[in-house]
Amino acid sequence: MSTNQVTVNLERRGDLSLLLIDNPPVNAISPPVIEQLARAIEAFEQDKGSRALVLACAGRTFVAGGDITAFDRPGFSAAAFNGLLARLEALDRLVVAALHGTAL
């Protein structure tokens, strides 16, 4: 996979959903990752047959921070990420983060 390609996938595994972030090399949170996470969470919210959401990352590390290059962009705001976290927290089903390697 190219280091420029951001991938967030949601897949059903039985009655669980796996949300996998694959943004090498350190799975940094960036505006494209936030957009893709929002779409995946929306799909999970609509899938009432899934009992829980497992949030995991590909590679050797869990999310190891934010994409610092985004911090200097005009109009940068953490509001979208904070809203995403609030959505996860408000879900009516269990959410588990499978941490490994470096995690922030």
pTM of the entire structure?
Answer: 0.89
pLDDT (0 to 100) of residue 102: 81
List, as one string, the DSSP characters of 52-101.
Answer: EEEEEESTT-S---B-GGGTTSTT--SHHHHHHHHHHHH-SSEEEE---S
Each residue's pLDDT, cut to its tens digit, for the chain (104 residues) gives 444 576 999 999 999 999 999 999 999 999 999 999 999 999 999 999 999 999 999 999 999 889 999 989 998 899 999 999 999 999 999 999 999 998 87
